[in-house]
Amino acid sequence: MKLILASQSPYRKALLENFGLKFETQAPRVDEEKLKKNGPAELTELTRYLALKKAESLTSLYDGAILIGSDQIAELNSQRLDKPGTVAKAVEQLKFMSGKTHRLITSLAVVSPLKTSVATNITSIRLRELSNEEIEAYVQLDQPLDCAGSYKIERAGLALTESIQTDDPSAIQGLPMIALTRALFEMGLHLPQLWSSK
C-alpha cells in the first residue's frame, strides 16, 4: 500500500528515509495559519487537529493510500513558540527559553481507507543557562529559522540542552516514529512488507 507523507519538511522526510520506508511526499492542501486561528485553543489538541487536517487534505488525491500528517508546537509557560522565521526572532526565543524547561508537543495522524489513528508525544527539554554569545553563535551556525523552539536537536542544538525526557527521540525532529510503527501495525502493515517494497 502506498505511503504518502503530507509534509514538505526535510526533517520528517529524512526520518522516514532513515527508517527504510518507501514513500512519497506531498504538501498538504491546507491553510495552516487559518487552521491555527480556528482550531482548538489547547495546544495538545491543536497539534492533533492540525496533523489530522494535513493528512485528510490529500485523501482525494491518493485514493486507497496511507496518509501521514504531523504537527509540532513548542510551548513554555503556556506560550506557543512558533518557527522564528528570522535570526532576530530565533535569538529572542532562545534567550526566553534559556535555563528553563519547555515542552515539544508532536502529534501524528495516520489516515487509511479503513482506519484513522492519532497519537501525541510530549517531550520535556531543559536548556542550559545560555550566554548571549552562545545563542548568537548557535543561531548563525545552525540557522534554525524553520524549527519550533529555534534549535536543531540533531545538529549543534543538542549542545544547548541540559536534559531531555521523552518516550520517543524521533518526535523531537517532528515525526514520532514509534507511534507511526504502532499505527501501521494496527492497520495490518508490518515492517518486512514495507522494507521489501523498496
Positions in the chain whose pLDDT score sits under 70: 196-198
Range(s) of the domain holding residue 142: 3-196
Q: State the pLDDT at residue 1.
A: 79
Q: State the pLDDT at residue 168.
A: 96
| Grid cell 501521514 in the structure block, residue | 68
Give the chain's domain count.
Answer: 1
Instruction: Read off the CATH number of the domain in which 61 is found.
Output: 3.90.950.10
Q: What is the number of residues in the chain? A: 198
φ/ψ of residue 58, rounded to 5:
-105, 5
- d(CA 106, CA 176) in angstroms, rounded, equals 7
135-175 pLDDT per residue, tens: 999 999 999 999 989 999 999 999 999 999 999 999 999 99
- Residues acting as catalytic residues: 71
| DSSP symbol at 20 | T
Q: State the pLDDT at residue 195.
A: 78
The pTM of the full predicted model, rounded to 2 decimals, is: 0.92
Q: State the pLDDT at residue 197.
A: 57
